[in-house]
């Protein structure tokens, strides 16, 4: 299985690096991608840029969508809306698992991809998620089968560990947890 972490202009760097590094450390190859293909992608707040090396493949086994970074909530929403316009259509026919960190689930909701599904996002966006027809769950991780969402910006490592446990087994997840000297926190909610 291959993981693709989708970059878009204004992405939040921690949303990207947490799951990317956790998955690769656990033996799941990961790459940074965009809808357009290889390019330098600026993060939000002008913090840094990362180089996407490939084009998004909706047939990849795992696609991770980050949130956005900005000083004001309306700026974050604008970045997520712009991301939804490009990333959303490309994910319409995804056959594997879609995972999100923080506002990544809002991006999917704006694109109309998760209406009626169980998901979480940053606590500041739960009401917005609910207003778009998503069953917003207040939990660190929400596992709804082929949709796995993580709450806040610091939950990316927890998301990566949860995905490792699902895909490579509990032993591998605990091994990486120990390697990172990180203890998972919060509730991992699973759909029945």
Could you tell me if 62 and 163 are in contact, meaning their C-beta atoms sit under 8 angstroms apart?
yes
| Distance in angstroms (rounded) separating the CA atoms of residues 178 and 126 | 31
Q: In the prediction, which pLDDT does 1 show?
A: 87
Distance of CA 58 to the CA centre of its chain: 14
pTM: 0.97
Q: What is the pLDDT of residues 15-74, one digit of tens each?
A: 999 999 999 999 999 999 999 999 999 999 998 999 999 999 988 999 999 999 998 889
Dihedral angle over CA of 164, 167, 172, 173, nearest 10:
30
pLDDT surpasses 80 at 169: yes
Please tell me the predicted confidence (pLDDT) of residue 191: 86
CA angle, 107 then 108 then 112, to 5°: 115
Helix (H) or strand (E) holding 150: strand 147-150
Q: What is the pLDDT of residues 125-166, one digit of tens each?
A: 999 999 999 999 999 999 999 999 999 989 999 999 999 999
For residue 184, what is the DSSP state? Answer: -
pLDDT value, residue 26: 98
Q: Residue 137 corresponds to which tokens in the numbers above?
A: 């769950």
């Amino acid at each position: 299985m291959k993981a693709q972490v989708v970059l878009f202009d204004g992405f939040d760097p921690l949303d990207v690096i947490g799951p990317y590094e956790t998955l690769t450390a656990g033996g799941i190859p990961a790459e940074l991608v965009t809808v357009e293909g290889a390019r330098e992608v600026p993060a939000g707040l002008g913090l840094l840029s990362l180089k996407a090396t490939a084009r998004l493949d909706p047939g990849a086994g795992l696609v991770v969508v980050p949130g956005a970074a900005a000083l004001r909530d309306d700026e974050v929403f604008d970045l997520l809306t712009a991301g939804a316009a490009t990333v959303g259509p490309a994910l319409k026919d995804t056959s594997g698992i879609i995972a999100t960190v923080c506002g990544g689930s809002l991006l999917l909701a704006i694109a109309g991809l998760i209406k009626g599904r169980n998901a979480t996002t940053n606590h500041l966006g739960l009401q917005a998620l609910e207003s778009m027809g998503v069953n917003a769950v207040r939990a660190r991780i929400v596992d709804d089968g082929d949709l796995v969402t993580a709450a806040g910006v610091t939950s990316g490592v927890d998301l990566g560990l949860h995905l490792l446990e699902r895909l490579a087994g509990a032993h591998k997840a605990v091994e990486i947890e120990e390697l990172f000297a990180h203890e998972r926190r919060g509730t991992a909610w699973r759909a029945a």
